[in-house]
Amino acid sequence: MSRILPHPVVSAALFIMWLLMNQTVSPGPALVGAVLALLGGWALALLRPGRPRLGPARAVLRLTGVVLVDIARSNLAVARVILSRQKSHYSSFVHVQLRLRNPQALAILACILTAAPGTAWIEFDPEEGWLLLHVLDLPDQDSWAHIIQNRYEKPLMEIFP
C-alpha cells in the first residue's frame, strides 16, 4: 500500500481540493483528480522530506496565536497605507540575519512572512543565513529584524529543535 500511496493524507487532500475547485464529483473530473492526487503523492515521495521532530505543543499554539494577531494587524496597516492616499510610507528591502537552519522551520517562516500582507520573502542565503524581505511600510529596518528574530524565529527554533 505504501508504494501505491506513499503519502495518503497528501493525496487525499489533493483529491478533495481538486473536487472543490471543480465544484463537481462527476466521473471525468474525479478521475483526473485521482490521477493528480496519485502523482502528487509520488512526487512528494521522490523529494523524501524528513520527518520533523516537533517541540512542545504549547509553543505551536503560542506561535499560531502570535501569527494570527500579526496577520490581522498587518491587514489593517496595509489597508491604512492604501486608503490614506499619502505617500508617507516607505517600502524597502530588509536583510535579516537568521540562526534558523531547519528546512521545515524555514518553510513555515516563509509562509508566515508571506501570509502577512505587506511583507514578502524574497531570498534566503542558506550558507550565510541572510533573509531578504520586502516590507511595504518600513519605518525602521532594525525593528523588523527584531520582530522576525524574536516573534517568529525563537518560537520556531523551540518547535523544531
* Greatest extent of the chain over all pairs of C-alpha atoms, in Å: 60
User: Of 55, 12, 72, nearest to 37 (Cα)?
Assistant: 12
Structural element, H or E, at residue 139: none
Is the domain of 14 the same as that of 62?
A: no
pLDDT number for residue 143: 83
Same domain flag for 141 and 119: yes
What pLDDT shows up at residue 72?
A: 93
In a domain, 112, yes or no: yes
* Per-residue pLDDT band at 87 (split at 50, 70, 90): low
Q: Does position 6 have pLDDT exceeding 70, yes or no?
A: yes
Do residues 37 and 73 share a domain?
A: no
Q: Please say whether the beta carbons of 94 and 132 come within 8 A.
A: yes
Grid coordinates in use for 81? 497605507
Q: Are residues 77 and 133 in the same domain?
A: yes
Could you tell me if residue 52 is inside a domain? no
Is residue 84 situated within a structural domain? yes
Q: Tell me how many domains the chain contains.
A: 2
For every residue of 46-69, which 3-state class applies, written as one string?
HHCCCCCCCCCHHHHHHHHHHHHH
Q: Average pLDDT for residues 4-29, to the nearest whole number?
A: 91
The amino acid occupying position 55 is G
> Comparing 21-25, 55-59, 63-67, 77-81, which segment has the lowest mean pLDDT?
77-81
DSSP, collapsed to helix, strand or coil, labels residue 154 as helix
What local confidence, expressed as pLDDT, does residue 89 receive? 67
pLDDT band of residue 86 (cuts 50, 70, 90) is low
Q: What is the structure's pLDDT at 109? A: 93
Backbone angles phi, psi at 100, to 5 degrees: -65, 130
* Nearest C-alpha neighbor of 34 from the set 66, 75, 57, 5: 5
The residue segments making up the domain with residue 70 are 57-159
pTM (two decimals) = 0.72
Higher pLDDT, 48 or 63: 63
109, 65: one domain: yes
Residues 40 and 65 occupy one common structural domain: no
- Confidence at 1, pLDDT banded by 50, 70, 90: low
In a domain, 114, yes or no: yes
Q: Is 1 inside any structural domain?
A: no
* pLDDT grade for 117, boundaries at 50, 70 and 90: confident
Asked if 153 and 92 sit in the same domain, the reply is yes
Are 33 and 78 found together in one domain? no
| Cβ–Cβ under 8 Å, residues 159 and 54 | yes
